[in-house]
Amino acid sequence: MTGTETSVGTDGGPGENAPSSSSTADFGYRRVREADKAGLVRGVFDNVAGRYDLMNDLMSGGVHRLWKAALIERLNPRRGETFLDVAGGTGDIAQRILHRAGPSARVILCDINEAMVNRGRDRAIDANILTGIDYLVGDAEHLPVASASVDAYTIAFGLRNVTHIAAALGEARRVLKPGGRFFCLEFSHVAAAPLRRAYDLYSFNVLPRLGQIVAGDRESYQYLVESIRRFPPQQELAGMMRDAGLEQVRWRDFTFGVAALHSGWRL
């Protein structure tokens, strides 16, 4: 499942996704007006919220659960800490954190999509989790969270959907307390060419069809596949994290680079 962990020093390269004067942004392989991207992404997740968890299991063969377990293991949540899970969606990570840290912890689930937040709240109630998780509708680039107020920031499979990755990373550093830790679990880039070709065939041919059959929405899953290919590769994202002021940056590849876990600290 996992590969070696890699660190990046002060020579990490600058990112290319910082805000600029450009008025357009990537939406998958399309270029759209910068001001429209957040609404388009919101529409994607409005469409898939009801089948989101089932589709994650089908698309990854359940392997995403192992990746998330590795995230929680590395995070090592402790009693009494405050956690912010951005793009928290249906609450998978938030519930795992609370289960590990115990009832004295506070977890804030934040997502730009209200339908996903509502789904996360419903799932928590179904699991008899009535306290310990707060729910916020908010933008990763403009978090409705006080500066230096959280012990750890997590974002799983959400960073590639923001309009300005650099702005979201800057917000992550802002809300972290000194000594706070940052974790990003995201689909990434397979290095080995033969595996990459096989992965591309599966992604572009199978996943949109699966989305059509299971969720009744081919276009949303076509976008999700394309957004993975547009996301910065491991080394570049590590450099962007350093540019945002995070330190001791490193990453760990999962499943040959299909996903990667990046981590850093606010020191």
Convert the pLDDT of each residue in 195-231 to its tens digit: 999 999 999 999 999 989 988 889 989 998 999 999 9
What is the domain extent for residue 29? 2-8+15-266
Number of H helices, E strands in the chain: 10, 10
Question: What's the pTM?
Answer: 0.87
Return the pLDDT at 15.
36
Return the pLDDT at 12.
38
Q: Which residues of the chain have pLDDT under 70?
A: 1-22
Count of domains forming the chain: 1
Return the pLDDT at 5.
64
Return the pLDDT at 163.
93
Extract the runs of DSSP E, i.e. beta strands, from the chain. Answer: 2-7, 24-27, 30-33, 82-86, 106-111, 133-137, 150-156, 176-187, 247-254, 259-266
Return the pLDDT at 59.
83
CATH number at residue 207: 3.40.50.150
- Three-class SS state of 228: helix
Return the pLDDT at 27.
87
